[in-house]
Structure 1
Amino acid sequence: MEWLSELEAVGAAAYAMLLGGVIGYERELKNRPAGFRTHMLVAGAAALLMAMSHLALQDPPAVDSSVKLSADPLRLVEAVISGVAFIGAGTIFARKQGQHIAGITTAASLLMVAVIGLITGVGHYLLASAATVLTLLVLTALNLLERRTGMREAGDPGEDDDGEPGGAEPARKRRNPDLH
């Protein structure tokens, strides 16, 4: 049943988008250059690409019966990572201010949601959920820990985990729609 496999792929993409959205929402609250929608789309695209490769192997296109279709999942992973690298580079350059290079944490979170999408695309939902929780811990709990231990001054002018100014200001006041 081809349509059942396709429904499973859509379900995996939806779940990946949900997980990516959770991480993107955290980035959105801090008004980062890539937020809720971007993280959702990256995770969903990665899941769909991985699921698509599985579908192609299960039910290869009828081109020539003498041609054997094979796929190397690591090549697909490399392709996803290369694509996300371009998006990540854009988030770094979108917020460059003076001597600061900002957006590196957001670029890393995009890479992480792509990996979460890939994991979800092969059906490892528990692993994807655990990776999401770990990512949120890094983005939130470690930021608080850094401030409390003095690794970063709490009084710094709005510095947060990306080294970007204005982290404490609500996103709705500073939103730049051109960055989404």
Structure 2
Amino acid sequence: MLEYISFQTLTWPDALTRVALALVFGFLLGLDRNLKNKPVDFRVYMIVAGTTCLLAIMGQELVALYAVSNPNLKLGLLRIVEGVLTGIGFLGAGAIIKSGGDEPRIIGTATGASIWSSGAVGLMLGFGFYSLALLGFAMLLIVLVLFGVLRKPIFNQSDRY
């Protein structure tokens, strides 16, 4: 029974650390959007970051389980990265809304981009690139929070657009 609940490529504490960090990073990124009353709340970011982390771990497990026993099987981890980021791109695009009226505006671009980026951070954590994930998370937080505050006085733009 234990072989069914164990990992080939990492330990349970390492897997739990990766997923927990993905959820925390997703929560903090989504919290910024939540506090700014954006239509996408922190749960979406947590789901995206956590699930992409799990998909990266799954990819490593698949390679460890099947690549050795069947060398003709092509299990490229980059295919997972490509597929996940493409799929999340559609989710991010759904967060971008074109409003009607006299002067149509595109809104939600920062939210769409940050959803996509939270998926990338989740992948980094899932593959065990903690330093790169921390760097990506810090970059996103600086862009969303600091530059979100600075855009009002510098560019005289509201937080809505």
- Quickly name the TM-score band, shorter chain normalised: 0.7 to 0.9
For CA contacts below 8 A with separation 6 or more, give which structure has more relative contact order.
1
Which residue type is aligned with residue 69 of structure 1?
Answer: L
Alignment of 1:38-53 (within 5 A): 38-53=44-59
List alignment gaps of at least 5 residues for structure 2.
Answer: none
Task: Answer whether contact 2:29 2:141 (CA < 8 A) is retained.
Answer: yes
Q: CA deviation at 1:125?
A: 1.2
The equivalences for 1:16-165 within 5 A come to 16-60=22-66, 65-66=69-70, 68-93=72-97, 96=99, 98=101, 99-149=104-154, 151-153=155-157, 159-160=158-159, 163=161
**Aligned residues, how many?**
153
Identical amino acids, percent of aligned pairs: 33
Q: Distance in 1 between matches of 2:24 and 2:59?
A: 21
- Structure 1: which 5+ runs fail to align? 154-158, 164-180
Partners in 1 of 2:22 and 2:108 — Cα distance?
A: 23
Alignment TM-score, normalising by the size of structure 2: 0.83
RMSD of aligned Cα (Å) = 2.3
| 1:147–1:27 CA distance, 2 compared to 1 (3 A) | same
Q: Residues 125-159 of structure 1: CA distance to partner in whole angstroms, max 9, x if unpaired?
A: 1221121111111011112222232x125xxxxx2
CA distance in 1, matches of 2:90, 2:153: 34
Match of 2:73, SS state, is coil
